Chains A and B, each alone.
Chain A
């Protein structure tokens, strides 16, 4: 049976490091560090605990997905709260700053991820090959499904359409919360941009949503 102990972060302070300690059946201990902040009023550990106490085979799968999703939610809300703390209202400039902060976080993550994911694959023939790799293998590893539709004008612009984007499925399945969707896509745009950058393609990635959870990522390759 697996047991885990969590030290709660102290409320009212900036995000602190909390730790999990797993005692596996083989009695090997492994320590995982990651920062998180308690959401006001609700202990976010609780729903995860219910799932983590299921059978051991499901443990790693479920825990990984939920961990990233919760962390991403908190990241977005933290960035927006930080920007808002100086003044009462958020204007468009503030919103743009928040989006670019999230995007640059994603950029760095994408760069690292692509190194890891392509360390064993052969080099790519051309741009289209790279985009196909991003749509299939990369999307599967990062977002747990493949891109549904890839369109291009063969002149450096690609549109990747994902009909059930994993970070939007919990939000709504229609038009509700449509105005909040861009916040949760900024990080993913950055991940794609970072991945392409380390594969040798400078690009600009934007995302648009018309009906949740389907969204389109537009990649424009910058020719040097």
Chain B
């Protein structure tokens, strides 16, 4: 039961924030390439999902899973994308991501006059609060299952 890592992207594809808690294997490419890869994948999968959906779409792409991890996705109306990788025991992290957005991001970043929008997040306050929040989640544990 654990959380692996978290990405936050803005409307234009810049990665605003990345943090990892429990990542055993790196991607083998540089961080910029990894962010571009992640954003490109999200963009393609969202348009794929909406095109191929056999019914009217409500929320669109929510998550995908592999045999080892699950990726959860949350997009805000303003185009911010939150991506959380957890292990398979977490079925729905949408509330978590929504909490991170409304209680942490909006409070500490949007309302922070020295954090300009669309640039990497520097605020230590945001980092530390996010860290505390993630570690307090019921499905977080320091060692991966």
Contact = CB atoms under 8 A, between A and B. Distances in A.
B113 A172 contact: no
B113 A77 contact: yes
A25 to B, nearest CB: 24
A41 B117 contact: yes
B8 to A, nearest CB: 13
B74 to A, nearest CB: 13
Interface in A29-59: 39-44, 46-47, 49-51
A35 B15 CA distance: 31
Interface residues of B, number: 19
Contact of A73 (B77, B108, B113, B122): B113
Contacts of A70: 111
Nearest to A44: B110
Interface in A135-170: 170
B108 A40 contact: no
Contacts of A66: 111
Given A172-B123, A176-B124, A50 B114 contact: no
B114 to A, nearest CB: 5
A170 B117 contact: no
Interface size class of A (residues with CB under 8 A): 20 to 34
A210 interface: no
B19 interface: no
A39 B117 contact: yes
A212 to B, nearest CB: 8
Interface of B: 76-78, 102, 106-108, 110-114, 117-118, 122-125, 128
17 contacts: A42-B110, A44-B110, A46-B76, A46-B77, A47-B78, A47-B106, A47-B110, A49-B77, A50-B76, A170-B112, A170-B125, A171-B112, A171-B114, A171-B125, A174-B125, A180-B113, A184-B113
Interface of A: 39-44, 46-47, 49-51, 66, 69-70, 73, 76-77, 170-174, 176-177, 180, 184
